[in-house]
Amino acid sequence: AQSVTQLDSQVPVFEEAPVELRCNYSSSVSVYLFWYVQYPNQGLQLLLKYLSGSTLVESINGFEAEFNKSQTSFHLRKPSVHISDTAEYFCAVRDFGNEKLTFGTGTRLTIIP
């Protein structure tokens, strides 16, 4: 991938409100798509990934992301956030045939009680 764009560097959201974290990418080849999460004082963890098949993928903690090929997007959504979702979220892309991940600059999600 040539680039990954996360337009929102910070997103404050009230508890139990919905949230969408945006991710767009540019690439000349097909890609795999990932969302990683970094909780405070912890390392990066995989949240969910799109490889093939259904364009809607879900995580175990209620997040979902939808791959939109025509818009080259992979936005992350959750219908109702919790305090424990406070973290930084990174979108990443991996070109077919390539090993490296290209990351966006991250979105810091802050939950307001």
Interface residues with other proteins (CB under 8 A) are: 32, 34, 36, 42-46, 49, 51, 90, 92, 94-106
Residue 25 to residue 10: CA distance in whole angstroms: 19
CA distances from 23 to 19, 71, 77, 101 (A): 13, 10, 11, 14
Nearer CB in complex with other proteins: 76/104? 104
Q: Which is closer to other proteins, CB of 29 or CB of 70?
A: 29
Residue 1's nearest CA partner among 71, 84, 100 is 100
Choice between 68 and 105, CB closer to other proteins: 105
Cβ distance to other proteins smaller for residue 75 or 106: 106
CA neighbours within 13 Å on the CB side: how many for 38? 11
Least separation in angstroms between residue 105's CB and other proteins is 4
Minimum Å gap between C-beta 18 and other proteins is 26
Which pair of tokens denotes residue 106?
A: 């991250």
